[in-house]
Structures are given as structure tokens and as C-alpha cells.
A and B are shown apart, each in its own frame.
Chain A
């Protein structure tokens, strides 16, 4: 490669929206702690379970231990919680988010109080635990393990992820019916815990509002197809946490041809694999090569969903939405001739975001986001021969297996391949 590579990493241009996130996240935890002091109900929730609107409509404050684990890792304060979980008998190979969450609650139980120096003041003691089966196994197992430390009521529910080759039209009716029943079970549980009844009109209004927000989020995300790309992957991952995105912000950047970096040479895809929360700055090293992550397949913006004009039952609507979203890629893959859904997500982004190379993150403690990466690489090889794919290895939380020097060496080699690929494509 001809360009000079700076050895020192540095922070780069960030969108105005992303710049506000740290304060928003801090405020989220403060508000949750305050709610607890005011005796309002607080729930530990797993992200993207399709229960968010229901919990909101019941005026229950939502706290996300997965996100909190990420925050602990970003601040490099996850270690004491992981150590505590391991001392309690949990494997160091267990999901890193679970290790932090279990360790945090085990420590709180032992101390009889909030662990000292907990990032952002810590998670308040929950009144209920709400898990779901969408995404991975720990998301419905972890809260039950907390039964060792607290007697907090739990509601877990199934959110289906139908197989890639299922006949979606044939399974839709009973799948939606099942998920709607699971949601009704959740509502009954919440009514029992709070002593108040669900306001279904309010719930419907919240669902509509959320969908409108997600529509704008998708529109904003699509602006990253622009060359130069107006928003970095670091911004994507921090914006995901509070689902915060101002459309006008990236629009202004696109209109003025302002990119993440001035001289955008290569466009990369951050493939499936959760980010290395402990060392997010390593992503800046790609910028030194003039490479920008223009898209991701991790923490994806939810796929489009049109609310049927005659929809009256918000519970049925949420179940239908979950089914449509969780079958979208399967349907696209089937149309493409039998492409596995995980790979389909990558192929679409490679095509739509003018991608020159793919980076995937093998995370030792997160199986769900790692399994299938090799399949994705193999499918990409079949469909886009020569397109470079890099596997970065570390973890979402744990620093034990991470070597910055080795990662930089990998990136150096990968960027040479990206450069060669781009030249040959030209």
C-alpha cells in the first residue's frame, strides 16, 4: 500500500447525535435510580424482546443489564463483576454480559448495598425480571440464575425465530397466535405485579410512535450509503443503546459531502459479531487507512413493518410485527435461492453500501453472535469472490484474550487485501 499509516490512533469525527449519547445514558441510569427511590416499579429487561412498548405502557422503568455490562466494559470496570461471577461458580466462558450481570447482583447481595464505584451509579434493584428467547439462550436463562441472590418475580416469554427454509405463509397464523399469547401472559404478569390494568389505547399509541421513530431511524441509517459515509460504526453502536438518532444530523453531513474522514478510500462492513466494548478505539485504526465502516449487521435497525390500517389489537400487532421482522431475512434468502438468513443480511449490505471488505468479530463469550460467521464468510466467498473478510478475535467484555498488537497486525494485512481487491475491481 502506498499511503502512510499513522501508528498512533486518535478519535475521529462523530455525529452530533452520537455526541449526546453519553449524557443520555447517564441520565437513563439516574432516572432509574430516582424511580426506585420514589417506589416506582423497575424491571430488568432484555433488549429487543418486543415487550418494550408493553412495559412502557404500564409505566414500569426499564433497565437493561446487557447494556449495563457493555457500559462496564467501555469504562473498563467489568472485571470485579466477572471475578465475582466466577467465584460463584460460573464458567469464564459463559456469556460475558451474563457474567457481569450475575456478578453485579451477587456482589450487591453480599454487600447488602450497591457495589461501590458502580458505573453511572449502578442498576437499581429490580422489582421484576423480564426475559425472552429471541437472540440467544442467556437472555431467558440468566434471570433465573439470579434466583440465587434475590426473590424477584420473573416472566420469560418466547419470541420465535423461524427456520430459514420454513414456509412462512403456512406457519404465520399459529406462530403469531403463540407470540400473542406469550405477550398476553406478560400483560397479566405485569398487571399482577403493579396492581393496575393495561390501557390498550395507550399501548397502541406507543406502538405507533415507536414504529414512526424506527422509520426515521432507518431513513437516517440509509444515508450511510452516501459516499463519503457520514456516520461511523462507533456512532452506530452508541446510538443503538438509547435508540437515538437525529435524521437532520447525517442529512446535513451528506448534503455537504462531509464524511467520517476527509479522504474515504475504502468502505467496510462490520459483520455479525458484537463490538469489542472494552477497546472501541481500535476501530479508529481502520480510519488511519482511509477505511470507514459504512454498515453493520450487528445491532441492526429493525426491518420495515407497515402497521395494517385496520389494526385494532396492539398485542396482535406486536406479535405480527415480531413474526414479520424475524422472518424478513429468511424470506429474502429464500427468494435469493436458499441463502442462509445471516449471510443474506451481509450480501444485502455489501450490495447496497458499496462494501470493499468485511470485518467480523469472534467473541469468545458470545456464541450467538459468533456462530455462523464462518458460514457467512463462505457464502460471501461464493457470491463475491475475492472480497476480503477479516476475523478479529477478542470478546464483548473480557480483555483476557485481546491483544492490541496482534489485532493491529491483522488489520494491516487485511487492509492490504482490501486495497488489492479495490484495485482489481477498478
Chain B
């Protein structure tokens, strides 16, 4: 990489702070970089075709400039932020964009993105809302359709071996991320929530091989740490898109540790591997539709069945409180939110429920609420 010789967390921080840096460099060298939204895009297809996957992100703290002429103010602020950056030229280095129909906002923004920004390549993939057997069969056809569409446009083809190799690389990332998350179980965790966010965001912006190298370096770096226990409250963060450290930093600066997450930018996409036993495409369909627990897919059952994994997280990572973070105008989260809160409180965990506009977080207001929340946790610990 041209701009830096640093490794490990310093590199992750640099990639986090200058998000398109590496992808733009690769694009300038002639590599095709394909942007995508959401964590449901099987990026292994891109890697297999020697395309660079780049997860499109918003800009927390960046005031919106042009988007009101194109997207309604009551639309998902995260999507509005992404589109505003795209309008400003932030994503001009992309050779194409893939948007999934996961929720109403994603579904609608595809046509808007295509009509106004006219990307060289665009594709919308339908993610079933259901998880019936037929849903997996249908989704496999959608994954096949995406592969064919990419092959047609970029004039390349990916064999089964190419796909298997790409899945292997991404599974390696998943395994390394799980290894890193294991280090968060320690008291205190060996990596902070802010540092973890740098790593996760960095991983969305660089080729998978580079990310694997980065992860190995980060793991080695944080393993060498030996901090003393300090008894700070250990928190789980539950929500959707957290691609900025503002909230996590505020929590940690207030005296807590973020030790685990259930976020679409975090653990949701790597706790399970893509299984190659039934073939690459079948494995991708099962891995993405079955493995990601986003509220945009319907999972039958009562709250305890649907969210029992949060109890596992709480137990395994020694969680003492939960921050549920929802973005305004998100019906899928807002319909699950009160149930999640009630379920976690039923487990004896204090919960702080924050509804946010993503773009300009109300940090001063949150600070007071977070401090009060941490006092509640401390008081519980004293009991």
C-alpha cells in the first residue's frame, strides 16, 4: 500500500479513517471495485471473479448536502447518508453497485441509485424475507443470477474451484474474526470496542487476502497485551449499522467496555462459516440466508427462541448490560426492539434503548443517559 507502512491496529485505524483509500488505489491500478450495501451480499462471488468487494458506508457526523433533492427525509438516515456521499462523488471509483432487497429502504433506493447515479454496473438481489425450505432454493437461484450477471458484465467466469477458493478465503476471515472476538472474553478484553470497530470497518474496504493479513497482525498485537482487571461494566451492543466509533467511544470513555455485538457490521456476518459440502452456491445461499440473524428475515417462534443467542453471548462474554441501538424510521428493528428489550430484561440484564438518526448522533444527550445506565449496572453489581 502506498500511503502507509504500518501494520496491525495502526493500519486498521488508518483504513478506518480514510475509508476508500486502499480501494481507490486498487481502482487506479485497474482493478474493478464493486460496491454493495448490507451484509447479505455473497461477496465470495466478487472475490472469485477477481473483483474487489467494497461495502458502501455512510458518513456519521457529515452533514447531508444534496440528498434532499433525491430521497425523502423520512427515509432510513443511513441510506440517505450513503446516497449523499455517492452524490458528492465519494463512490465514483466503483465499477458497479449491488443492492439487496432486504428492507423497504434498500428496495426503494436501488431504482433511485440507478436512475440518478447511473453506475456502470448495477444489480438488485432479492433476499427472501422467509426462511422456509423453498426460500433457500429460491435464494440459491438469486445467487446464481448474481454470479451470471457479474460474469456477463465483467467478461469473466468463475469455476467451482474459483468459488471454493474464494469461500475458503472468506471463511478464513470469519475464523480469524472469531479468534479475535474470543480475546474480548478476557477481563478486561484485550481489544477495545473502538479498536474492534476500526478492524471491522477496515475489513469492508480491502481485498479479503489483505484483510486476513491484517487480522493476523491485529491478533498477534493484542495477544501480547496483559492489562490488569479493572471491573468496568461489560456491554453487548445490539442493532444494525454501526460503522462509526462515536457511540462506542462515548460508552468506553464513560467507563464501560464494549465486549460483544449483534450488529450487521459486526458478529452477525462471521459467526458461522459458509459450508461447501453441498456445493458453493448452495453453501452461499444457506450461509447468508440461514446464518445472518437480521430482523429483515422472518424467523418463526416466540422471542426466547428467536433471541436465545443473545443469552449465549451474554453468558460467554460476561455481559453485564446491553445497549440496543436502532436507527430512526427502521420498521423492522422497531417492531423487534421492544421484544428484544423485554427479553433481555427478563434475563436480568439492564438495557439501554437508543433510537438514533445515524447522521448526527446526539452525543451530549446520550452521555447523560449512558452514565446513568452505567450507574445502574454498578448498583446491580453491588447488590
Q: Which A positions have Cβ atoms within 8 angstroms of B? A: 88-91, 93-95, 98, 133, 136-138, 140-142, 144-145, 147-148, 154, 156-158, 160-166, 170-171, 174-175, 177-178, 181-182, 185, 338, 340-342, 362-364, 367-368, 370-375, 378-379
Contacts and interface: CB of A to CB of B under 8 A. Distances in A.
A373 B138 CA distance: 30
A95 B130 contact: no
Contact of B111 (A182, A368, A372): A372
A178 B134 contact: yes
Given A93-B328, A378-B70, A367 B105 contact: yes
Interface stretch (B121-129, B174-182, B184-192): B121-129
B331 A137 contact: yes
A93 B110 contact: no
Contacts of A160: 126
A133 B130 contact: yes
B257 to A, nearest CB: 27
A175 B298 CA distance: 19
Given A91-B337, A371-B108, 4 more contacts: A140-B298, A165-B114, A165-B124, A367-B74
B353 interface: yes
The 10 closest A-B pairs by CB, nearest first: A89-B338, A181-B134, A163-B124, A340-B111, A178-B138, A371-B108, A141-B335, A133-B129, A174-B141, A91-B334
B148 to A, nearest CB: 9
Contacts of B116: 375, 378
B135 interface: yes
Contacts of A142: 335
Contact of A164 (B111, B298, B331, B339): B111
B135 A158 contact: yes
Contacts of A156: 129-130, 298, 300
Given A89-B337, A138-B331, A181 B132 contact: yes
B69 interface: yes
A367 B303 contact: no
B161 interface: no
B104 A182 contact: no
24 contacts: A89-B338, A91-B355, A93-B355, A98-B331, A136-B104, A137-B104, A137-B129, A137-B332, A144-B298, A144-B335, A145-B336, A145-B338, A156-B300, A158-B129, A161-B101, A174-B137, A182-B132, A338-B115, A341-B111, A371-B105, A372-B108, A373-B72, A374-B72, A378-B70
Nearest to B125: A163
A162 B328 CA distance: 26
Contact of B353 (A89, A341, A370): A89
A177 B132 CA distance: 13
A181 B138 CA distance: 10
A98 B331 CA distance: 10
B59 interface: no
B239 to A, nearest CB: 14
A91 to B, nearest CB: 5
Contacts of B75: 367, 370-371
Contacts of B335: 90, 94, 98, 137-138, 141-142, 144-145
Contacts of B326: 91
A163 B298 CA distance: 21
Interface in B310-368: 326, 328-329, 331-332, 334-339, 341-342, 353, 355
Given A145-B339, A165-B122, A372-B108, A137 B72 contact: no
Nearest to B107: A161
A163 B110 contact: yes
Interface in B265-316: 295-296, 298, 300, 302-303
A371 B104 contact: yes
B183 interface: no
A182 B130 contact: yes
B112 A375 contact: yes
In this complex, the member of B124, B296, B329 whose beta carbon has the largest number of chain A beta carbons within 10 angstroms is: B329
B103 interface: yes
A181 to B, nearest CB: 4
A375 B104 contact: no
B125 to A, nearest CB: 8
Contacts of B222: none
Contact of B334 (A94, A178, A370): A94
A236 B332 CA distance: 30
Nearest to B296: A137
A370 B72 contact: yes
In this complex, the member of B71, B115, B342 whose beta carbon has the largest number of chain A beta carbons within 10 angstroms is: B115
B209 interface: no
Contacts of B105: 367, 371
Contact of A375 (B70, B76, B303): B70
A161 B302 CA distance: 28
B145 interface: yes
Nearest to B133: A181
Contacts of B129: 133, 137, 140, 156, 158
B110 to A, nearest CB: 6
A165 B108 CA distance: 13
B108 A137 contact: no
Contacts of B107: 161
Contact of A362 (B72, B108, B109, B295): B72
B142 to A, nearest CB: 9
Contacts of B339: 145, 147-148
A267 B244 CA distance: 49
Contacts of A137: 103-104, 129, 296, 331-332, 335
A138 to B, nearest CB: 5
A185 B72 contact: no
A141 B332 CA distance: 7
A160 B116 CA distance: 25
Nearest to A145: B335
Nearest to B128: A158
A137 B329 CA distance: 12
Contacts of B334: 90-91, 93-94
A142 B339 CA distance: 12
A141 B104 contact: no
Nearest to A138: B331
Nearest to B99: A163
Contacts of A145: 335-336, 338-339
A159 to B, nearest CB: 9
A164 B109 CA distance: 12
Nearest to A85: B338
B101 A379 contact: no
Contacts of A144: 298, 335
